[in-house]
Amino acid sequence: MTDDQAMELAMGEARAAGREGDVPVGAVVLGTDGTILGMGRNARERHGDPTAHAEIRALQAAAAILGTWRLTGTTLVVTLEPCPMCAGALVAARVGRVVFGATDPKAGACGSLYNLCSDPRLNHEVTITPGVRSADCGELLTTFFAERRDR
């Protein structure tokens, strides 16, 4: 599966989050062979859980499938640049690569405010591929917030 194809799936998860009243962010975890190990969407409001970001839920799903917390060699594909919590989770899970869509200048931790994925002081580094389908991913967010303002 290409990065673009995986991002399309992540965008589907994001749209589902939006329909459920959560900020539309979605994520997919791919194994070393490109198969899907887990998917997740933001459920902070729906679950009333501050940790229920799309990336955290996708990592949990992938770990459950693999039966280990070590997600070595996997790729996480997410519609929005991960926040500090989620970038830290990528490092903690030993994810190999992160692909993201829209950048997050207010809270992004994969290059915008921080780059927690590329810090040689930490015990793992994650390769970053930014800007995949970034316009489409960003539009999901701007549309969601515009519709809420109009209510």
Binding site for a copy of itself (CB under 8 A): 44-45, 47-53, 56, 59-60, 63-64, 66-71, 83-89, 91-94, 106-107, 109, 113-114, 116, 119, 121-123
Q: Spot the catalytic one: 55, 81, 125, 147.
A: 55
Minimum separation from the CB atom of position 36 to a copy of itself (A): 18
CA distance 9 to 29: 10
Which residue's CB is nearer to a copy of itself, number 9 or number 92? 92
Q: In what order do the strands lie in the sheet with 97-102?
A: 36-41, 26-30, 75-80, 97-102, 127-129
Which residue's CB is nearer to a copy of itself, number 74 or number 133? 74
107-118 residues labelled b (16+ CB within 10 A) or e (exposed): bbbbbbbbebbe
Which residue's CB is nearer to a copy of itself, number 41 or number 133? 41
CA distance 86 to 26: 12
Minimum separation from the CB atom of position 16 to a copy of itself (A): 18
Mark whether 55 is an active-site residue. Answer: yes
CA distance 28 to 54: 9
- In terms of Cα–Cα distance, which of 27, 142, 4 is closest to 87? 27
Minimum separation from the CB atom of position 11 to a copy of itself (A): 22
Active-site residue numbers? 55
